[in-house]
Amino acid sequence: MSILINESTRLIVQGITGRDGGFHTRKMLDYGTQIVGGVSPGKGGTHVHDVPVFNTMEQAVKQTNANTSIIFVPARFAADSIMEAADAGIKLIICIAEGIPTLDVVKAYRYVQQKGAQLIGPNCPGLVTPGKSLAGILPAQIFKPGRIGVISRSGTLTYEIVYHLSAAGLGQSTAIGMGGDPVVGLYFIDLLDLFENDPDTDAMVMIGEIGGNAEELAAEHIRKHITKPVVAFIAGQSAPVGKQMGHAGAIISSGSGTATEKIESLKAAGVLVADEPSQIPELLKSVNLLKTK
d(CA 148, CA 130): 11
The answer to whether the CB of 78 falls within 8 A of the CB of 95 is yes
Strand-pair category, 145-152 with 203-209: parallel
Strand arrangement of the beta sheet that strand 145-152 belongs to: 133-136, 126-129, 172-177, 145-152, 203-209, 230-235, 272-273
Given 47, 49, 225, 247, which residue is catalytic?
247
24 noted as active-site residue: no
What are all long-range contacts of 193-197, with beta carbons under 8 Å and residues at least 24 apart?
A: 193/225, 193/226, 194/3, 194/4, 195/3, 195/149, 195/151, 195/228, 196/225, 196/226, 196/227, 196/228
Rounded-to-integer distance, Cα 282 and Cα 93, Å: 34
Angle at CA 194, nearest 5°, toward 189 and 199? 140
- Identify the H or E element spanning 164: helix 155-167
Alpha-carbon Rg of the chain, whole angstroms?
19
Distance CA 59, CA 179 (A): 29
**Strands 126-129 vs 172-177: parallel, antiparallel or unpaired:** antiparallel
**Rounded Cα gap, residues 114 and 51, in angstroms:** 30
Which residues are catalytically annotated? Answer: 247
